[in-house]
Structure 1
Amino acid sequence: MALARLGVVVLDCPDPRALAGFYAEVLGGTVEGDDAWVDLKVPGGPQLAFQAAAGFVPPGWPSAENSQQFHLDLTVEDLDAAEAGVLALGARALDAGDRSRTWRVYADPAGHPFCLCAC
């Protein structure tokens, strides 16, 4: 028997509404909340939340000094199409790497690393 259930994944950031808007474009869903806390309700998936953090410093990837702590893996049907989409929305590529891999690494507009993974 589990002691708890995962409620929501929360990302600290300088602008919760803007970052929730980025992920809403990537994942779909509805953005709700105020300037300090914004929820993204994703249809058929886990909820994400975004919390204002004064003095936010984005994680580094790869970096021993500003480690990423965690990242999101987002599954996609077409890596090239998904890459073009997230870059157009303001993500940036973190790892040009081997294009034959089934995953690619990016940073969202606030600097959090995430991966697009072929399903």
Structure 2
Amino acid sequence: MAAITMGVTALDCPDPHALAAFYAAVLDWKIDPESDDEWVELIGPQGRTLAFQRSEGYRPPQWPGVEHAQQMHLDFDVFEEQMDEAEAQVLALGATLLEGDHDGARAWRVYADPVGHPFCLCANG
């Protein structure tokens, strides 16, 4: 067994509460009531945690460019028959479609969250 295990994944952003609210709505996770203005955590199933950290002077990545590289992205699994519904949900919450699934030729679609972090909805099952 490894001495090190994965902990929190944290995203830099200009407003941690606003971005946490976006992902809370996407994932149906709860915002930790002990969060503050600098660090906000979402609590998910099985102890999963996604955090948002205030970053003054935040500059969003530009996907797929390299001048302001994405550095990381999040993948979210969606049942294949619910992809259109999931896309409508994230767009209504403030996401932007960056690249579609090429008329079903790929099993994922790429979006940017409200502050520019790329994420994918991936057909699973």
- Regarding TM over 0.5, the answer is yes
Deviates more, 1:41-50 or 1:71-80: 41-50
**1:52-74 deviation line (CA, Å, top 9, x unaligned):** 00000001110111110110000
Q: What is the CA-CA distance between 1:28 and the residue it aligns to?
A: 1.2
Residues 101, 108 of structure 2: 8 Å contact kept: no
Q: Which residue of 2 aligns with 1:98?
A: 102
Identity level (%): 57
Residues 28, 43 of structure 1: 8 Å contact kept: no
Q: Which residue of 2 aligns with 1:38?
A: 40
Q: Which residue of 1 aligns with 2:75?
A: 73
SS in 2 for 1:44: helix
- RMSD between superposed Cα atoms in Å: 1.2
Distance 1:93 1:30 in 2: 25
Q: What is the CA-CA distance between 1:76 and the residue it aligns to?
A: 0.8
Q: Which residue of 2 aligns with 1:9?
A: 9
Q: Runs ≥4 in structure 1, deviation > 6 angstroms? A: none
Distance 1:45 1:62 in 2: 32
**1:71-110 deviation line (CA, Å, top 9, x unaligned):** 0000011111100000000000011350302100000011
Distance 1:68 1:6 in 2: 21
TM-score normalized by the length of structure 2: 0.90
Q: How many residues align?
A: 119
Residues 79, 116 of structure 1: 8 Å contact kept: yes
Residues 101, 107 of structure 2: 8 Å contact kept: no
Distance 2:56 2:29 in 1: 26
Quick one: which amino acid aligns to residue 27 of structure 1?
L
Q: Structure 2: which 5+ residue stretches go unaligned?
A: none
Distance 2:101 2:25 in 1: 25
SS in 1 for 2:91: helix
